[in-house]
Amino acid sequence: MSSDESRTASDGPGGATTLGDVDATDDKYRFRHEVIDPDPPSGRLFICHPTDLTGNGLPDLVVGGMGSTNVSTPIPGLTVERSSIPGNLFKRFERDLFWYENGTWDRHVMTDETELRLLGSTLADFDGDGSEDVVVGQGIGFGGIFWFERPDDPRAQWTKRLLRDDFEKYHDLAFGDVDNDGDPELVGVSQESETVFYYDVPDDPRRTPWPDETKHVVDSGVNLEGLEIVDVDGDGENELIAGTHVYRQGDDGWERETIVSGWDWTRVAVADLDDDGELEVIFAEGDSPLLGDHPGRVAWFDPPNWEQHTLRDDLYCPHSLQVADLDGNGRPDIYVAEMGAGENDDPTHYVFENLGGGEFEEHVVARGVETHEAKLVDMTGDGRLDIVGKSYEPDAHVDVWYNES
């Protein structure tokens, strides 16, 4: 598919729930599932960023991935190992970065390049023009971090720039003022290189690659997932939460505080959950038990001693974790959803309703369709938070769950 081709909603199932969606009967939260795209042009989807690209006030959706392990061919029913195909043939098969236009769900490919193998990502405004561009890092076996700069017409090809290639496999990227100098930095974790790092944005961000002096290492010898830049302790300066650690910049470098040990592959969120005026930290083990030896846990941790409050300890890869006020009562609720990964036949979406004072009530709000890195966002402008997400593998699809509560 060329950059100016798109897939309209009429090409897909519309509002049909053909992926085995099961209505969740809940008295408080009601979500209607719609498939945005049953056949996206890349597999092993990872990137999922809602952002308004067209300026109409409604969030569009940026999606990308590493490409399928097994690639479909023009011959019906025939798939082949991705690694066995000569690189120049990928133009027939997959594109790894694209976006969907809210309202029609037209699909627009952002680049014709193949073999990008994209993993971690963030939205960033490097040049201060007020528009968010897309920053992506490559997966295992690759070391590039790329800036895709939005053109005046986002439906056209986006300009790709290599920022740095110091590490390998970037599971998470973030953009924010991590060193408290008043300017935002590009922050990341590299799993294969076991490094937490950040880059200062140079005066000319279009100079590529960025100069060596922009690179800073926060920690090494750690294999982490999950990033959050936030003033977690209320001292007026940001900290970095990476994995289950809090990093603070001291006079002698970065200091590491561990919130909890023995948790694997964590997604992270932060909010004042118990009305005490302090921020609590929420973790979900997004890849357990697929990459671990126990089911996935979800819990929140109360400072300063990080007392653990477990919400569930029996989930399958709860790789979607969001915290937001879903019912309009001013208290942040917790949304968690499971992957399928070809193993979980009943992936479930949960909302843990915040009752106040650290008490939560569990609700099952959707079942039967897996998701990964799903986000809570108002997709329709009606003031209610919807769910938008996509699968990981082996089946690729992009979805929205409209909030009709």
**pLDDT value, residue 355:** 97
Instruction: Give the torsion sign (CA, 71, 73, 79, 81).
Output: negative
Going from N- to C-terminal start, the domains of the chain cover 44-311
**pLDDT value, residue 68:** 80
**pLDDT value, residue 299:** 98
Mean of the pLDDT values across residues 19-24? 53
Residues 6+ apart with CB under 8 A from 134: 47, 49, 62, 97, 110, 121, 123, 124, 147, 148, 150, 158
In the predicted model, is pLDDT for residue 59 greater than 70? yes
136, 135, 133, 137: which is closest to 152 by C-alpha? 133
- For residue 365, give the DSSP letter: E
149, 133, 214: which is closest to 178 by C-alpha? 214
Please write the tens of the pLDDT for every residue from 290-307.
Answer: 998 999 999 999 999 999
Average pLDDT, the chain: 90
- pTM for the full model? 0.90
- For residue 176, give the DSSP letter: E
Residue pair 336/352 in contact (Cβ under 8 Å)? The answer is yes
In the predicted model, is pLDDT for residue 25 greater than 80? no
Residue pair 72/93 in contact (Cβ under 8 Å)? The answer is yes
Residue pair 109/95 in contact (Cβ under 8 Å)? The answer is yes
Mean of the pLDDT values across residues 169-180? 97
Query: Residue-wise over 57-96: b if at least 16 C-beta within 10 A, else e?
Result: ebbbbbbbbbbbeebbeeeeeeeeebeebeeeebeebbbb
310 C-beta neighbours (distance < 10 Å), count: 9
Mean of the pLDDT values across residues 269-278? 97
In the predicted model, is pLDDT for residue 376 greater than 60? yes
Fold of 44-311: Methylamine Dehydrogenase; Chain H (2.130.10)
12 or 404: which carries more pLDDT confidence? 404
**pLDDT value, residue 85:** 55
**pLDDT value, residue 13:** 33
In the predicted model, is pLDDT for residue 15 greater than 90? no
Residue pair 144/162 in contact (Cβ under 8 Å)? The answer is yes
| Phi-psi map region of 180: left, alpha, beta (phi>0 left; psi -120 to 50 alpha) | left
Share of the chain above pLDDT 90, in %: 82
Please write the tens of the pLDDT for every residue from 150-159.
Answer: 999 999 999 9
Residue pair 132/123 in contact (Cβ under 8 Å)? The answer is yes
What are the C-alpha distances in Å from 277 to residues 96, 233, 271, 360? Answer: 42, 10, 10, 18
85 or 322: which carries more pLDDT confidence? 322
Residue pair 312/336 in contact (Cβ under 8 Å)? The answer is yes
- Lowest-confidence segment of 81-95, 107-121, 169-183, 275-289 by average pLDDT: 81-95
Please write the tens of the pLDDT for every residue from 326-371.
Answer: 999 999 999 999 999 999 999 999 999 999 999 999 999 999 999 9
**pLDDT value, residue 367:** 96
**pLDDT value, residue 210:** 98
